[in-house]
Amino acid sequence: MSTSINEPVSVVVVGAGVIGLTIAHILTEGTSAQQYRVTVVARDMPEDLDSQAFASPWAGANWSPMQYDERLHRWEKRTFDKLWDMIPTGLVRRLPSKVYFEQEDAESQAWWKDIVRDFHLITPEAYLPSNVKSGVGFHTVSINPGIYLLWLKSELASRGVKFVRRRLVTLYEAGTLAGDKGVVVNATGLGARSLIGVEDVKMYPIRGQTIVVFAPEVDHFVTLIPNPPRGSEAIYLIPRPSPHGMVLIGGTFQTNDWDTSIDMPTAERMFSRAKKFFPALNHPQTRVLSHNVGLRPAREGGPRLEAQRMNMPAKGGLIPTSTDAAVNALVIHAYGFGPAGYQQSWGAAEEAVELLKAGLGKS
């Protein structure tokens, strides 16, 4: 369907996490700004930093190695380059990093070495556990998710994007808001499992428990990649850009676990493991700032990023609406990024916008 270039297209983004906000950011920048009228509709907004009902505030929010996938690799490289260019803003930190392996020949495991900066081999330090056999060093990026989400919202608000706090029960409500020539962007994360009109049973949570500490002596990212992969607990330390000295210690990867309560024995194990990999945590000034639990929005088969035409009944459905007109809306589904939402956000959002433009017949 082609639309007049003089008439802005109504776009309703459902979900105010990092994926939805990044899509809205791309839609409203540069020459695209006059082509779209964007509204973000969500139950939870970026200022709701203590809400456990959405994942983005609780993320590690750095770039760290994941399993290889050609499509995801493309998103991750584009996102890394974008975030690297944002370092001068102070929103993103240039972060020295060490990744250790439980096997020899670390370089052969590092398919991602073309993404990061200053990649090189390292010799594991003598104080590390005996199962650490090899390692690599490089520079990556890290973000404070709370500050970053608020920055995205501020940028969008300054461009005229409207934010509507509303819990949608069905995707059809968003279609009604967008209108028959509009677009719905479904960036609902775990909500895609229960949202009527989507009901994606492939969605599942990965429970992540972490600790935030004040530890200014910790100055680089550290993680261990086990061989073979095992268990639901991992070791990683992520210094953040701000406030000064803030470090995230993690964590757990507990699939299909919806429990958002803090498990203190788990926290104690995480902190004990972390001290083995970064003895500076034993410094007297180190102190715990918070214990956290978030649910990563994972999906069997990987993220869903695709366009779909959906007939959205505005009358006679489960939810009353203000119009009797039937809606045939273009929907862009963008959810299910699991633990990689931040590190795939710009690449995935750019592809989502390309799908949107193609669906509208725009170049």
Q: Which of 55, 214, 251 has the alpha carbon at shortest distance from 145?
A: 55
Binding residues for D-dopa: 296
Binding residues for FAD: 188
Q: Give CA–CA dist 306/37, Å, rounded.
A: 21
Q: Give CA–CA dist 204/186, Å, rounded.
A: 17
Q: Give CA–CA dist 184/172, Å, rounded.
A: 9
Where helices occur in the chain by DSSP H, the ranges are: 18-27, 70-85, 145-158, 171-178, 264-277, 341-359
Binding residues: 188, 296
DSSP state at residue 119: E
Helix (H) or strand (E) holding 269: helix 264-277
State how far the alpha carbon of 99 is from the alpha carbons of 1, 70, 248, 302, in Å.
Answer: 48, 22, 16, 24
DSSP state at residue 318: S
Q: Give CA–CA dist 66/72, Å, rounded.
A: 9
Cβ–Cβ under 8 Å, residues 221 and 95: yes
Cβ–Cβ under 8 Å, residues 77 and 120: no
Question: Per the structure block, which two tokens stand in for 5?
Answer: 């270039």
Q: Give CA–CA dist 320/106, Å, rounded.
A: 58
Rounded to the nearest 10 degrees, what angle do helices 341-359 and 70-85 cross at?
110
Cβ–Cβ under 8 Å, residues 177 and 326: no
CB within 8 Å of 201: residues ≥ 6 apart: 193
Q: Give CA–CA dist 249/237, Å, rounded.
A: 5
Q: Which of 296, 238, 212 has the alpha carbon at shortest distance from 19?
A: 296
State how far the alpha carbon of 22 is from the alpha carbons of 36, 329, 343, in Å.
Answer: 15, 21, 12
Look up residue 299 and give its amino acid.
R
